[in-house]
Amino acid sequence: MRIFFAAFLPPVLQDGVAFEAHPQNTIARFSLQPPHELRGFVIRDFGGLRVHPPTLLASTGITLDVLPGDEVIAETVDDVYALAYHTMVYNHLQRLVRVLGLHYNGKGWEVIRTRLREAIPCGHSLERAWLSEAKTVALKCSMRMRIAGAGDNNHVSFTHRCFETSLFNLPQARYTWTVS
């Protein structure tokens, strides 16, 4: 998990860039020589990329060259954080935590919280977005998007899994349907 966060959080933290870092788009790289250690990741499918141009410009001096209205443009840095959470935590780590049987006892989420606190600088806006006491996070609702034919503009507020620690709070999320 440290390598995963080291690979995908710096672009979010420094440059306002989020990749769709979920299992379908993320390929693990291992060393060729024994012991075959995880070295990093390869990302594919740049169509799901989200970039907050002012943050990218401030950190790199690069002006993003895309057509007006391109879907890669994030209006706010919070839009970048939402995509990163959706793909990294909800689509990737949440599934891993469940497969390993570490969801309902909270142990998997404890590990994720610990590693996120190590990786995200204290006081950074991503810390407030992901590690504050906020109990919900807006995520894409793929089924609703397809039914409404509204692209990426349909979101659902989900219980923020990084802070679910009680066995009794985990099985059910409160869903608030909002179109944004």
The model's pLDDT over 116-136, given as tens digits with 9 standing for 90+, comes to 999 999 999 999 888 876 656
For residue 75, count other CB atoms closer than 10 A to its CB. 10
Three-state secondary structure call for residue 38? strand
Which residue is it, tokens 């950074």? 124
Q: What pLDDT does residue 21 have?
A: 82
Contact 64, 56 (CB under 8 A): yes
Structural domain boundaries of the chain? 2-132
Residue type, 177: W
The mean per-residue pLDDT over the stretch 11-18 comes to: 96
Mean pLDDT check: name the lowest of 19-23, 54-58, 168-172.
168-172
The set of long-range contacts for 119-122, using a CB threshold of 8 Å and a minimum separation of 24, is 119/2, 119/5, 119/6, 119/9, 120/9, 120/13, 121/13
Residues 73-96: pLDDT tens digits? 999 999 999 889 888 888 889 889
Whether the link from the prior residue into 11 is cis, omega within 30° of 0, is: no
Residue 113 burial (C-beta neighbours within 10 Å; 0-12, 13-18, 19+): middle
**Would you give the distance in Å from CA 173 to the centre of its chain?**
18
What number of residues does the chain have? 180
Share the mean pLDDT of the chain.
80
Cα angle for residues 30, 33, 34 (degrees, 5° grid): 90
Nearest to 12, CA basis, from 108, 93, 120: 120
Cis peptide before 68 (omega within 30 of 0): no
- Neighbouring residues of 33: CB distance < 8 A, sequence distance ≥ 6: none
